[in-house]
Chain A
Amino acid sequence: MAAAAVAVAEPKTKYDRQLRIWGDQGQAALEKASICLLNSGPTGTEALKNLVLGGIGSVTVVDGSKVEPSDLGNNFLCNSRVNKECLGQSRAQSVCSFLQELNDAVKVKYVEESPGTMIDTNPSFFSQFTVVIATQLPESSLLKLDGICRAADIVLVAARSYGLTGLVRVSVKEHCVIESKPDHFLDDLRLHNPWTELKQFAKSIDICDKDPVVHKHTPYIVILVRLAEKWADAHDGKLPSTRQEKREFKDLIRAHMLNVDEENYKEAVESSYKVSVTPGISTEIRQIIDDSSSEVNLSSSDFWVLVAALKEFIANEGNGDLPLEGTIPDMTSQTEYYVSLQKIYQAKAETDCLAMEHRVKNILKRIGRHPDSISRAYIKTFCKNARKLRVCRYRSMEEEFNAPVISEVQKYFADEDSCFAMNFYILLRAVDRLAANYSRLPGIFDSEIDEDVPRLKVAAVSVLSDMGLNGTSLSEDLVTEVCRFAGAEIHPVAAFIGGVASQEVIKLVTKQFVPLMGTFIFNGIDLKSQVLAL
């Protein structure tokens, strides 16, 4: 019995530090996910290493190459003190034996095949995976792969290290996030529009009680609900909105203090702006609700069914508001008052959630699905996070390359920080174009660097002109730098790029937090890296 307990407890302990971030749900999603890696150079293997440590379900490495001397200088995973042991071995195999050593709970497999060939000859191979991580692939292969992955609704994360630069790009038609877990978010207290139960509770407490112990333990929610009402009574039913009014409202709060050191009143003054927050729905959520996907049918995802229900809720039970989140922050208070307030917020959240559940069932029936086919837990999580929903849509690489949004591109070129990133973006594409013509990367031979600089510039100008950006000039320094880099895969840069790629995979698989929107361009020169949404 004791042995069984240890076996069960072990992953909990091992993954403790990450479970505190993404919870059991997130971990379960990771353990179900299968990842395919194309090319097992340092960029790809460092990404996989981070995922294997975290307990990803399975990884499959596709690489047809053998371990070469240069792998021993930049790839920790196919290294060994006795260099001869690994040299000439399958790189995929060599990398996988180390990955397996890291975590025996992960299924580690490899296919000795060149990624380019796999893309060309066996596109259906990719449909078995949750995410494909494509590293160090030229644009032509990447374009094909993107088409394959999109058609099969598989997430593609492309990563490339190139000297002191590199990029990570996410591509998937649509990624919907319920638990976006933003860092700072306003509490959902509804002080501008308290419901009956909250108002009644606030009324039941005498905020003018002269007993100092009671007075300094009245939670600020109660103080603000009462004083906002008092204010509204004196101002034609309106809440403080101008700067002057907000200042006067703070004075009104201060006037009710018995002592200057009453923490609850200080908190009330600090939180007084919460009375004046614009009621209703944010632009971001409004956009989601108004999206055409909220016109649901049999093929709609659960997420969009919930959005459809949300739309109905707002127009009916919600009276223009979203379902209540149902939690309150800690605040100075007597235990009894605080716990009562918690219950009042929870009860309202449960009522809202129940109304949503009812609407979801009706919608499901209407579109021909079983009314219980979306779990109560899912609906609850959705309601709790209704203010934080995120829908990320990515243009296909083909669209990005063939139909760039000129105004965006020009905006990036005009901005000092993004301009560097934009230069790298163009130059990394130019490198592939040059390589297609000369069958080698620019700068690969010391003797030809001087000739390669103008060649790379010509290639870059042709990329720009295809984008409809004739006359945009590139940084001479960066053209020279990219020639200098000659495609070198330097370990710390690869570890950085691979690290970012793995972080994005985690967010995409757990469906928590917000993934990278566009292309992340690493700037290894002064580290001022940027994201380009192209």
Chain B
Amino acid sequence: MASPDAEAPPPTEPERWRDLDILLSRPGNLVHATFQPSPGLRDDIGSFVEVLVVGAGGLGCELLKDLALSGFKNLHVIDMDTIDVSNLNRQFLFRVQDVGKPKAEVAAKRVMERVSGVNIVPHFCRIEDKELEFYNQFQIIVLGLDSIEARSYINSVACGFLEYDSDDKPIPKTAKPMVDGGTEGFKGHARVIMPGTTPCFECNIWLFPPQVKFPLCTLAETPRTAAHCIEYAHLIKWDEVHTGKPFDADNAEHMQWIYSEALQRAELFGISGVTYSLTQGVVKNIIPAIASTNAIISAACALEALKLVSGCSKSVLNYLTYNGLVGTHIKVTEFVRDTDCLVCGPGTLIELDTSSTLSEFIKMLEKHPKLLMSKASVTHEGNNLYMQSPEVLEQMTRQNLSIPMFELLKGASFVTVHVSGMAESNGNKVSSLRKLRVLFKGVEEASKMDTTESS
């Protein structure tokens, strides 16, 4: 122990990280095959590993703290939201005076204030606003999200980096692991996704059933519950009365209007239970959330991230569910990959004539039964072949539309391209990213080998 001087020097890093180093520097029997215990392992993680945290909300705040105290020094966080009063019961990095500020920026600042040596780069924007290459710089992507669409998007981006060899075997060094957490009330999940090895988000999409919507005729003709009255006011009455004026769920006056309309309708039909709180819950589809569940799930995710980079213990295989309603119930399930998965598989095979132009290719994607993708942008190895937006890029790439794909892809016979656009999912159009393998008809097989090896 250092003797307490009047002017105590700052602790050395080994003193500070005593507990973590015990785990990283000692061999064990129940560790990952790649584990190389060493006193320098923590330094290596700190210097060479960059982690992206997606979401700076209930899970994101916890994740940033947990990762910063697990030896990670280079973190990025991306979130498009600003801080709301209702976040303060669990998003512990935010204070009342932060309301209205960007979550990513405040969260990054607060963790850096308290944990010396860690650098966190905030990104206050939509996940779709970033170039694909932005996501490629990270060794691990940790997801702290509350939406299926956002998870699905990040999953497709991360799986998009996965390359396959000529035998359709995934190439391990191209796999970008993800750790995904989610909570609802006293329940949550944590999972590790190793693209090409364990199921990706899309392989098990059925685990997240779409939200049940009320039939419009029930709302209009036979309402029975308070929620029916609220949805009537929200989905039918608002547009009838406010022609052309869009409803804004964050506008208190709008919400108040919905509430009083719902209340009137409930009285008319003799239905009870319409409250302002329920109105907000139904209209905004509010998911109840508490600090403890977020802390538990984030901690599991951070621990898995540490295990992935260090190998200091085994990884969870591969899906943990937590239920705190009755006792503390944890279950780990080993799900299997969908080998036909459009997202983490080798990619949908598209056969093209050497004469097909980029424009014809884009049109074909709209009709393709597996893809049904409209407004597609096309990239190849990070180069934009055609971009729908922003306008500048559209103008720059427009001339490519009339050029044959074969020529744009420099005469390779078999090529992986990425397309992003709007695709159907559960009956909704959502922004999606798909990996396609383009095979040109009538070109020699030999060059197929060449291109996959050189890519």
Contact = CB atoms under 8 A, between A and B. Distances in A.
Nearest to B94: A102
B324 interface: yes
Contact of A21 (B116, B186, B298, B300): B186
Interface in A474-517: 476-478, 480-481, 484-486, 488-493, 495-496, 498-500, 502-504, 506-507, 513-517
B92 A339 contact: no
B158 to A, nearest CB: 22
Interface stretch (B196-204, B286-294, B338-346, B355-363): B286-294
Given A49-B291, A74-B19, A495 B298 contact: yes
A53 B20 contact: no
Contacts of B317: 526
Interface stretch (A12-20, A110-118, A283-291, A464-472): A12-20
B352 interface: no
Given A54-B291, A499-B299, A503-B292, A164 B325 contact: no
B169 to A, nearest CB: 26
Interface string B1-41: 01010001011100111111011001111100000000000
Interface residues of B, number: 82
A168 B69 contact: no
A506 to B, nearest CB: 6
A502 B15 contact: no
Given A20-B281, A527-B300, A491 B66 contact: yes
B85 A484 contact: no
A73 B72 CA distance: 12
B28 A55 contact: no
A291 to B, nearest CB: 20
A3 B200 CA distance: 51
A520 B295 contact: no
Nearest to B27: A484
Contact of A492 (B26, B85, B302): B302
Contacts of A498: 295
A17 B112 contact: no
Given A88-B8, A524-B313, A516 B327 contact: yes
B223 interface: yes
Contacts of B224: 330-331, 333, 335, 338-339
Contact of B185 (A14, A21, A493, A520): A21
B22 A488 contact: yes
A9 to B, nearest CB: 9
A69 B114 contact: no
Contacts of B295: 46, 49-50, 495-496, 498-499, 502
Interface in B316-371: 316-317, 320, 323-330, 332
B329 A495 contact: no
A503 B89 contact: no
A489 B22 CA distance: 10
Interface stretch (B127-135, B236-244, B269-277, B386-394): B269-277
A84 interface: yes
B435 interface: no
Given A79-B114, A102-B92, A330-B224, A14 B23 contact: no
A531 interface: yes
A80 B325 contact: no
A423 to B, nearest CB: 11
B157 interface: no
Contacts of B288: 17-18, 20-21
Contacts of B281: 20
A189 interface: no
B29 A477 contact: yes
B73 interface: no
B90 A333 contact: no
B89 A55 contact: yes
B296 A531 contact: no
A72 B14 CA distance: 11
Question: Chain A interface: which size bin?
Answer: 35 or more
A500 B313 contact: no
B118 to A, nearest CB: 10
Contacts of A217: 222
A3 B16 CA distance: 47
Contacts of A502: 291-292, 295
A485 B29 CA distance: 12
Interface string B38-60: 00000000000000000000000
Contacts of A476: 29
Contacts of A21: 185-186, 288, 290
Contact of B291 (A53, A168, A524): A53
B446 to A, nearest CB: 46
Contact of B303 (A69, A496, A530): A496
Contact of A17 (B22, B289, B329): B289
A468 to B, nearest CB: 27
Interface in A212-251: 217
B65 interface: yes
B16 A70 contact: yes
A480 B29 contact: yes
A416 interface: no
B116 A76 contact: no
Nearest to B278: A20
Contact of B26 (A75, A88, A331, A449): A449
A516 B327 CA distance: 4
A285 to B, nearest CB: 16
Interface string B94-110: 01000000000000000
Interface of A: 10, 13-21, 42, 46, 49-51, 53-55, 69-70, 72-76, 79-84, 87-88, 101-102, 163-164, 168, 180-183, 217, 330-335, 338-339, 446, 449, 476-478, 480-481, 484-486, 488-493, 495-496, 498-500, 502-504, 506-507, 513-517, 520, 524-531
7 contacts: A20-B277, A72-B16, A74-B20, A79-B114, A330-B224, A524-B303, A525-B314
List the 5 closest pairs (A to B, CB-CB), nearest first.
Answer: A69-B11, A499-B295, A491-B69, A499-B296, A496-B299
